[in-house]
A and B are shown apart, each in its own frame.
Chain A
């Protein structure tokens, strides 16, 4: 019996162990195409499978409207909340989920990756009465095929502290033009996500016409450089980059931020708390002169869905008039269902959120996934991966 271990043998054991792991890993890596039924080719919604596994934004799947769904269909709802679009994409890639409430900056990636299937909208009776300007959009329809059911939408507003920021700004220049923004140095609030580069592109579209920016999510080298440069100049002036809504609410409530981009959710919540916040008034179409970025979410069905019938039932339920009104009010966004406006608890809700105001949404550039393809087949645009790298260098 040895008193001391033999270092050489221990080392060999370790190496052998590691090799075994690598082989195991290499073996797992190759068999990822075991596609199961999925939602494709479903001709008729059959009997539910007893449950449905969802990925959603916080506030999209709540007992108030899932309990009646479970009672009606017998499909138990298992929900996983994701914090970012990136997280949603990686969760969907596991193949463990039936569906996702994807924003436009995730949907194209899911379609490209083959993670989701087209949706047969004939099987979703409530699709009929969804607002027309939400159908057939570049972030939910690919090659003429609808890939999901619109859930709701919102615009990224310009919000400011009305005690501190005077006169009331009418342009994103107040946070993006270095000369104007200097005045609020250290108090500017910016969205902490690569997709914020599109906000700079929306601003440049109006103010630097020479760049010929059309779609703020399809930027060529020159346009992209200009947007990134603008945000690098903004960087030292930013008080805080926010990613969670609660973080921005506390920054505005605590006086750390006085002006910046926000969602309707934070704006109305701060107003209800009696904080002196303001956003672009009705006379300006509720948006700064350049328009704004925004989001429109879509329920998509996984190509590996194990409960496709329940997923179809869910997609119909979430855009049914009452449920869609509930979720829109709970989350603070415009409903996608035109009949929902009769069912909101706050009768002013739809007008507050411009649900029935197409002119408002005309000026909103919904989030899309930046792709190398510029939309016309030419591949001179910056893809999302490059947006992420650029975002790292902007924040420094």
Chain B
């Protein structure tokens, strides 16, 4: 028994000896798994996506032809319908982002600077609560609410008004609702980091509340807004279930979905569009200093 214990200890010892004084090996053992996952599972699949965008489909058998062809990208550029779809998707993503930012900022500001501890906790729970229920349930609820006989029309009827019905407005509305928490939380975190003393200092120096907001609070919290906008923008860009449920309009995701089993290369080529848009967006966001606060 004692020899076994000694043996086991010496095995552990040897392992410890191996790592001792070799910081690079230590880091490698620690990070090897996660980095391999990132490179193989994440970047690797992106690379495969990029490559398959250059493939084509054999018309007769539907089998993939692996080669280098610009056919898919040519289709995307030449057919105006794809341009419309891309513009529509990016447009709605931008509208959702701006709306969410406008709604989220006052709520986040109240939570970070004005609310009591108790009210702040309650608000946090209230914001996180919708995230506990399924995405599908929320979209389907909106579908029921926005239908002709739904609660939205019922509530607006006494005022002689009519709800938006299904369509692009409905998509904007539902997406704005869905992604709001992802905007509030980063802004809240950003605002909380601004020391109260800075606001006091601004007031002491004679700045009006508006000037304080414009010259102190907004510049300091802007990176947080940009950080939140990355979430709302990219989530809207990639969604295809909401447009399908509450409108007849096609978004990038819908067209990818429609092509995925009949023309995978075209779907891959189309999938590059949101990636390119997002890379551009992230570069601009970095310029604005958004990543100093995430």
Residues in A lying within 8 Å of B, measured CB to CB? 1, 13-14, 17-18, 21-22, 25, 29, 84, 86-87, 89-90, 109, 112-114, 186, 194, 238-241, 243, 247, 250-251, 254-256, 371-372, 383-385, 388-389, 391-393, 395-396
Contact = CB atoms under 8 A, between A and B. Distances in A.
Interface in B203-250: 244-245, 248-250
- Which 8 A-B pairs rank lowest in CB-CB distance, beginning with the nearest? A21-B44, A86-B261, A254-B147, A17-B39, A90-B261, A255-B148, A393-B81, A254-B149
Contacts of B166: 239-240, 256
A385 B262 contact: yes
Given A17-B44, A87-B261, A393-B81, 13 more contacts: A17-B40, A18-B43, A22-B48, A22-B51, A25-B48, A25-B51, A29-B66, A86-B261, A114-B61, A186-B165, A250-B147, A256-B166, A395-B250
B62 A113 contact: yes
B280 interface: no
A388 B48 contact: no
A187 to B, nearest CB: 9
B148 A14 contact: no
A251 B166 CA distance: 11
Contacts of A194: 258
B260 interface: yes
A18 B258 contact: no
Interface of B: 23-24, 39-40, 43-44, 47-48, 51, 57, 59-63, 66, 75, 79, 81-82, 84-85, 143-144, 147-150, 165-166, 244-245, 248-250, 255, 258-263
A396 B51 CA distance: 27
A265 to B, nearest CB: 20
B149 to A, nearest CB: 5
B261 A89 contact: yes
Given A113-B61, A256-B147, A383-B59, A90 B260 contact: yes
A13 B40 CA distance: 12
A114 B63 CA distance: 10
B44 A251 contact: no
Given A254-B150, A392-B81, A112 B255 contact: no
Given A255-B147, A393-B81, A14 B39 contact: yes
A14 B43 contact: yes
B149 A255 contact: yes
Given A17-B39, A21-B44, A240-B166, A250 B258 contact: no
Contacts of B84: 396
Contacts of B261: 84, 86-87, 89-90
Contacts of B57: 385
A392 B148 contact: no
Interface SS of chain A: helix
B79 A393 contact: yes
Contacts of A372: 59-60
Contacts of B43: 14, 17-18, 21
A396 B81 contact: yes
A197 to B, nearest CB: 13
Contacts of A243: 244
A18 B23 contact: no
Contact of B259 (A84, A388, A393, A395): A388
Contacts of A239: 166
Nearest to A257: B148
B149 A391 contact: no
Nearest to A85: B261
B169 to A, nearest CB: 14
B59 A385 contact: yes
A247 B245 CA distance: 8
A21 B248 contact: no
B146 to A, nearest CB: 9
B38 to A, nearest CB: 9
A240 B39 contact: no
A336 B194 CA distance: 72
7 contacts: A17-B43, A84-B261, A89-B261, A371-B60, A385-B57, A385-B262, A392-B259
Given A254-B148, A391-B258, A22 B62 contact: no
Contacts of A86: 260-262
